[in-house]
Amino acid sequence: MADTEPTETERFDAALEEGITLVEQGDTPLVAADWAAERYELSHRQTELEERIQEEVEDGDD
C-alpha cells in the first residue's frame, strides 16, 4: 500500500480543526489561522481559513 499525500481539502479540514482548538484555548482567529495555514502549507487560503474558524467559533457560542 503506497503512502499518499493528503489532499488540499484534507489539509484544510485538519487546519480548521486545529485553528478552532487554538481559539478555544485563547488565541484569536487571526493568530490561529496564521499558525494553521503555515503548518498545513495553506498560506494561499489563510483568509478563508480565518473566516471559517471565526464562523465555527461563533456558531459554537449559541
Number of domains the chain contains: 1
Model pLDDT, residue 38: 98
Confidence grade of residue 48 (pLDDT, cut at 50, 70, 90): very high
> Each residue of 6-21: pLDDT tens digit?
999 999 999 999 999 9
- For residue 19, the enclosing domain spans 8-59
* CA nearest to 16, candidates 44, 60, 61, 52: 52
DSSP state of 40: T
Q: Mean of the pLDDT values across residues 23-44?
A: 97
CB distance 50 to 18 below 8 Å? no
pLDDT class of 3 with cuts at 50, 70, 90: confident
User: CA 35, CA 29: separation in Å to the nearest integer?
Assistant: 10
Residue written as grid cell 495553506: 42
pLDDT at 2 over 80: no
